């Protein structure tokens, strides 16, 4: 329904306005493509970039009390 409405309005425009509409459509398509490409670009990861940001607890490898009954 929207397409029919747009086309009916488009056909009623003078020729110089039709050219402006086509330029605007081309602009929108170009913007849409560039936005899609920006979203899909993965960020380049650097090895070791998180070094020093996280610290494990000193007893990280210690057995948990909750699992004592399952341990030998």
Q: What are 24-36's pLDDT values in tens digits? A: 999 988 888 776 6
- Structural domains in the chain (count): 1
Range(s) of the domain holding residue 16: 1-39
Residue 51 lies in a domain: no
Torsion of CA 5, 6, 9, 15, to 10 degrees: -160
Residue 5 lies in a domain: yes
Residue 20 lies in a domain: yes
Residue 63 lies in a domain: no
Does the model's pTM come out above 0.85? no
Residue 46 lies in a domain: no
Q: How does pLDDT run across 7-63, given as a tens digit for each residue?
A: 999 999 999 999 999 999 999 888 887 766 666 667 788 899 889 999 999 999 888
The rounded distance, in Å, linking the Cα atoms of 10 and 14 is 9
Residue 65 lies in a domain: no
């Amino acid at each position: 329904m929207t397409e029919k409405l747009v086309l009916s309005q488009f056909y009623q425009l003078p020729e110089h306005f039709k050219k402006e509409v086509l330029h605007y459509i081309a602009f929108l398509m170009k913007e849409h493509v560039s936005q899609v490409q920006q979203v899909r670009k993965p960020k380049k990861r650097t090895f070791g970039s998180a070094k020093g940001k996280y610290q494990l607890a000193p007893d990280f490898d210690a057995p948990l009390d909750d699992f004592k009954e399952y341990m030998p």
